[in-house]
Amino acid sequence: MSEPTIFELSRPGRRGVEMPACDVPSRPAAQLLPAGLIAEAPPALPEVAERDVVMHFTRLSRANFSVDTHFYPLGSCTMKYNPKVNEAIAALAGFAEAHPYAADLAPGLVEALAELSEALCEITGMAVVSLQPAAGAHGELASLLVARAYFASRGEKRKIALVPDSAHGTNPASCALAGLEVQTVKSGANGLLSLRDLERHLSGDVAVMMITNPNTLGLFEKEIAEIARELHEAGALLYLDGANMNAILGVARPGDFGADLMHLNLHKTFGTPHGGGGPGAGPIAVTAALAPFLPAPVFSRDASGEAFLDFNRPQSIGRVRTFYGNVGILIRAAAYIRALGPRGLRDVARYAVLNANYLRARLAEKYPAAMAGACMHEFVATGEPFAAHGVKTLDIAKRLIDYGIHPPTIYFPLIVHEALMVEPTETESKETLDRFVEVMLKIADEAEKSPELLKSAPNTTEFSHFDEVAAARKPRLTWQPPAAG
């Protein structure tokens, strides 16, 4: 039974929530505003009862896979368990009801955000943090603008950004947005960057190199320190895409291996829920040299140790958003960091890496990893061996849905053919991993013996095999009432 849209449930005159009568002496709106401003009718929102709304959206929710209901090893996204206590904490009236221009009335919140900023500095090994960016991509943009402001302050006109071919799409897109010219750097056969490749691209025009470490193949860039050194010698900066920090929390710090600036995805590494696509939070952390250029304000402390919002940053690039950041998410991450403590955070990395390697090892025979050797928190396998049976990675992904498992990330990174990017995260138990292996091996078997099972998958869901090409060719992006027949 497919659920109708909320518009189809609408009936003229039906009411959901009603508002109280006006308690002030008042005139009609038409007398309070000049002619021509008021719409004849309110917008055509659906007219539904509260009961309809609750049933409709509750039913819709049940059509989702989610971390709370399914194993969700979506590579690059760190779909770990999101602690319920953090939801309760973020909902506390003292946080949820604070107004951004009444920081003076919310000193505890300012303190919490200052503590978070400090913790992120210690975790990354960087000097100063800005909590403003709303997500990873936003942090990338903010950082690149910081880098550009830094060079501008030195009278340098560097305009090139080096981006590995394995990079996430947001990296080159952020460069473009920041007015930088992207040059793609090829990964080596081992999936890593090499000094030699890099040297070919280095010049006085290079402003920044964006490196994801561990990279999107789940490998640690071994030459990172040398790369940083060469970049620095060439006067360029090393940007660290921190999306994969889950692998190295407490084990290695970007600031220690040469990063000048970076973003974090709190919605990945620090356990905040992904919300069906967001919101996240993408704080950025920079070295002392770059700190003057951070978006203002920054959470800081005065001489007496009191936390405050520091607006007085004359070299700042300005704002990248209104107010101070996605505070509701920041608070969850702050609570997560406090809950785990330094050892707990380090264990996150250790067990995330253990889980990934366990899956890698158990699946290797049927799903060879793109690169040999140990991985970090995730690994990229290839579905190529099944090509002989006419089976693609996409088919494997869809078949997983039939077994109640959310598919891994597929076809990313772009440099791996038929990529299948598996990130189990540390919160999943050995039993869950074993079941995943069992299912994956069963699917491999099916692929060989009855590939049609995969080609037709998923077979257990309400819908299957959407015609996405037709959908994009003639997009229908809003609900339209059926044409009167």
Partner 1 sequence: MNYIPHDADDVRSMLKTIGVDSVDALFEGLPPEARLAREMKLPPALTEPELRARFASLAAETRTDVVSFLGAGCYEHFIPAAVDAISSRGEFLTAYTPYQPEASQGSLQAFFEFQTLIARLTGCEVSNASLYDGATALAEAVLMARHATGRENVVISAGLHPEYRAVVETYLRNVAPEIRTLAHDAGRIGAEALKEALAGEPAAVVVQSPDFFGVVHHWEPLVKSARDAGALLIAVADPISLGLLKRPGELGADIVVGEGQPLGIPRSFGGPGFGFLATRMDLVRRMPGRLVGEALDRHGRKGYVLTLQAREQHIRRERATSNICTNHALLALRATIYLSLMGPKGLRSVAELCLAKAHYAAERLAAIPGVRLRFKDAPFFCEFAVELLKDAAKVRAGAIAQGIDPGVDLGRFDPALSRTLLVAVTECRTKAEIDRLADVLRKEVAS
Residue 353 found at the interface with partner 1 (CB under 8 A): yes
Taken in order 454, 456, 462, 468, the sign of the CA dihedral is positive
- How many residues line the site for partner 1 (CB under 8 A)? 214
Give Cα separations from 206 to 25, 165, 316 (angstroms): 65, 17, 22
Q: Which one of residues 271, 280, 297, 408 is an interface residue with ligand PLP (CB under 6 A)? A: 280
Residue 427 found at the interface with ligand PLP (CB under 6 A): no
The listed partner (a second copy, partner 1, ligand PLP, none) that binds 484, CB under 5 to 8 Å by sort, is none
CB atoms closer than 10 angstroms to residue 119: 18
In angstroms, what is the minimal distance from the CB of 127 to partner 1? 14
| Contact characters 136-175, partner 1, x per CB under 8 A | xxx-xx---x--xx------------------xxx-xxxx
In angstroms, what is the minimal distance from the CB of 313 to partner 1? 13
In angstroms, what is the minimal distance from the CB of 281 to ligand PLP? 8
Kindly provide the b/e burial profile for residues 83-96, where b requires at least 16 CB atoms within 10 angstroms of the residue's own CB: beebeebbeeeebe
Q: Which residue stretch of 231-239, 298-306, 442-450, 457-465 sits at the interface with partner 1 (rule: CB under 8 A)?
A: 457-465
Classify 429 as helix, strand or coil: coil
Q: Which residue stretch of 56-64, 148-156, 186-194, 407-415 sits at the interface with a second copy (rule: CB under 8 A)?
A: 56-64
In angstroms, what is the minimal distance from the CB of 5 to partner 1? 6
Classify 273 as helix, strand or coil: coil
**Which residues are CB-neighbours of 338 under 8 A, at least 6 positions away?**
none
Q: Tell me whether residue 190 or residue 429 sits nearer to a second copy (CB atom).
A: 429
CA 438 centroid distance within chain: 29
Question: Angle of helix 136-153 relative to helix 170-177, nearest 10 degrees?
Answer: 40
Burial of 331 from C-beta contacts in 10 A (0-12 / 13-18 / 19+): buried
| Contact characters 71-110, a second copy, x per CB under 8 A | ----------x-xx--------------------------
Q: Which one of residues 117, 132, 170, 194 is an interface residue with ligand PLP (CB under 6 A)? A: 170
| Contact characters 296-315, partner 1, x per CB under 8 A | --------------------
* Kind and range of the H or E run holding 399: helix 393-402
Q: Which one of residues 74, 114, 123, 137 is an interface residue with ligand PLP (CB under 6 A)? A: 137
Taken in order 146, 147, 150, 152, the sign of the CA dihedral is negative
Q: Tell me whether residue 225 or residue 289 sits nearer to partner 1 (CB atom).
A: 225
Quickly tell me which residue has 């299948």 as its tokens. 420
Residue 265 found at the interface with ligand PLP (CB under 6 A): yes
CB atoms closer than 10 angstroms to residue 427: 18
- How many residues line the site for ligand PLP (CB under 6 A)? 14
Residue 213 found at the interface with ligand PLP (CB under 6 A): no
Q: Tell me whether residue 280 or residue 458 sits nearer to ligand PLP (CB atom).
A: 280
Residue 43 found at the interface with partner 1 (CB under 8 A): yes
Kindly provide the b/e burial profile for residues 35-45, where b requires at least 16 CB atoms within 10 angstroms of the residue's own CB: eeeeeeeeeee
Residue 166 found at the interface with ligand PLP (CB under 6 A): no
Q: The tokens of 11 are what?
A: 């009936």
The listed partner (partner 1, ligand PLP, a second copy, none) that binds 309, CB under 5 to 8 Å by sort, is none
The listed partner (partner 1, ligand PLP, a second copy, none) that binds 33, CB under 5 to 8 Å by sort, is partner 1
Classify 216 as helix, strand or coil: coil
CB atoms closer than 10 angstroms to residue 104: 9
In angstroms, what is the minimal distance from the CB of 183 to a second copy? 43
Contact 221, 167 (CB under 8 A): no
Give Cα separations from 308 to 264, 288, 290, 298, 478 (angstroms): 22, 19, 20, 8, 45
Residue 204 found at the interface with partner 1 (CB under 8 A): no
Task: Tell whether omega for the bond before 214 is within 30 degrees of 0, i.e. cis.
Answer: yes
Q: The tokens of 21 are what?
A: 């009568």
Which residues, 227 to 266, sit near partner 1 by CB under 8 A?
Answer: 248, 250-253, 256-257, 265
Q: Which residues bind a second copy (CB under 8 A)?
A: 1, 9, 11, 14, 49-52, 54-55, 58-59, 62, 68-69, 81, 83-84, 404, 427-429, 431
Q: Which residues bind ligand PLP (CB under 6 A)?
A: 76-77, 135-137, 168, 170, 212, 216, 241, 243, 265, 280, 282
